[in-house]
Amino acid sequence: MAVDVAALAIPTTQEVVHSPWSMFWWRIRHNPKAIVGAVIVVLLLVVAITAPVIAPHDPTDGELADSLAPPGQGYLLGADKNGRDILSRLIYGTRTALGGALMIVIISEVIGVPIGIWAAYRGGWVDETITRVWDMLLAFPPLLLAFAVVAAFGPGLPKAALALGILYVPFIARVVRSVTLVQKEMAYTEAARALGYGQGRIIFRHILPNCVSPIIVVSSIDFAYALLDLAALSYLGLGVQPPTPDWGTMLSEGQLVLLTSPHVALAAGLAIVVAVLGFNLLGDGLRDVLDPRQAQR
């Protein structure tokens, strides 16, 4: 960051124009965490999208004769108990994992962003009540309440994702509220108000665009948490149901044959670690890039 400032301060013969985008790219390129995270995330996306093309076998159809085949001939990463190709299941599992986590993050945003803006904008008892409730919920682990949801509504990915999505609302709403509080007092918001613009226009044209970068940072970190929570639910048999290829389910199946065929559990577990690591690093890196003040702390 210091180099950045120094470079800007040196008078040059040519007028150098730094657009916000070029600054953004410059910072990204000089942030190893963001680069590694972005590479992992992009790779995961590519794998998820091209799954039918790159998967060597059918992920749900196995040859029982190849049950628990070791990595190597025919199966790059071996086969599971039902003789299904582990690599193909991992590849399709990327879809389940990213899809589930995306659902959680989107649900939390669709509910959380308006609540955050509303709380900050209305102030008074509305703000007070809303912040009180989410402060309480923030203290309590989402996964525990998700257990109760599964017990009531039954297992399955959509239900688990909906429950977790709602429980993630405070994470995003809190950030949006604090950004809105600052933007609300900015001179340009005041100017817009003085010009007689309606509240809707001020919120959508002035406040929301300023919330975008903190929302991106929080989403990336929430994505990592969502992957972990979903994997935990599936591992416990409460999330994704077989035979859908899913990393958490694969891990729990792999644990049953851990002594004889550790490759099943290892492959699934490493996939989770890599994906979570990718989103964690990307989130951390983006925070450094988009919010340098906070990152220096």
Partner 1 sequence: MARLILTRLVTLIPLMFLITSIVFFMVRFVPGDPARIMVGGQRISEQNLANIRAQYRLDQPLLTQYRLWVGDLLSGNLGRSYRQRTEVTTLIVERLPLTAKLSAFSFLLALLIALPLGVLAAVHRNTWIDVGATIFAVLVASSPVFFTGILLILIFSYTLGWLPALGAGEGGLDTVKHLFLPALTLGISLAAITTRVTRSSMVEALTQDYIETARAKGLPARIVILKHAFRNALIPIVTVFGLLFGFLIVGTVLVEHTFGLGGLGSLLIDAVQVRDYPVVQGATVFIAGLFILINLLVDVLYAIIDPRVRFGGKA
Structure tokens at 156: 């399955």
Size (the chain), residues: 297
Q: Can you tell me which of 228, 240, 250, 282 binds partner 1, judged by CB under 8 A?
A: 228
Q: Does 251 bind partner 1 (CB under 8 A)?
A: yes
Q: Which of 217, 270, 244 is nearest to 105 (CA)?
A: 217
Contact between residue 250 and residue 80 where contact means Cβ atoms under 8 Å apart = yes
Q: How many CB atoms lie within 10 A of CB 242?
A: 14
Looking at residues 141 to 180 of the shown chain, list those that interact with partner 1 (rule: CB under 8 A).
141, 143-145, 147-154
101 binds partner 1 (CB under 8 A): no
For residue 32, state whether it binds partner 1 (rule: CB under 8 A). no
Q: Which of 139, 207, 202 is nearest to 178 (CA)?
A: 207
From 44, 98, 130, 272, residue interacting with partner 1 (rule: CB under 8 A):
272
Question: What sign results for the dihedral spanned by CA atoms 177, 180, 181, 182?
Answer: positive
* Residue from 140, 209, 292, 294 in contact with partner 1 (CB under 8 A): 140
Tell me whether residue 40 or residue 192 sits nearer to partner 1 (CB atom). 40
Among the listed residues 56, 74, 262, 292, the single contact to partner 1 using CB under 8 A: 262
Q: How far apart are CA 178 and CA 270, in angstroms?
A: 36
Of residues 65-94, those binding partner 1 (CB under 8 A)? none
Neighbours of 58 (CB within 10 A): 13
Region of 68 on the Ramachandran plot (φ > 0 left; ψ -120 to 50 alpha; else beta) = left
DSSP, collapsed to helix, strand or coil, labels residue 14 as coil
Q: Single out the segment in contact with partner 1 by CB under 8 A; choices: 114-122, 171-179, 206-214, 258-266.
A: 258-266
Which one among 71, 99, 156, 237 touches partner 1, defined by CB under 8 A? 237
Question: Is 139 a binder of partner 1 (CB under 8 A)?
Answer: yes
Question: Residue count at the site for partner 1 (CB under 8 A)?
Answer: 43
- Binding positions for partner 1, rule: CB under 8 A: 132-133, 135-137, 139-141, 143-145, 147-154, 224, 228, 231-232, 235-238, 248, 251, 254-255, 258-259, 262, 265-266, 269, 272-273, 276-277, 280-281
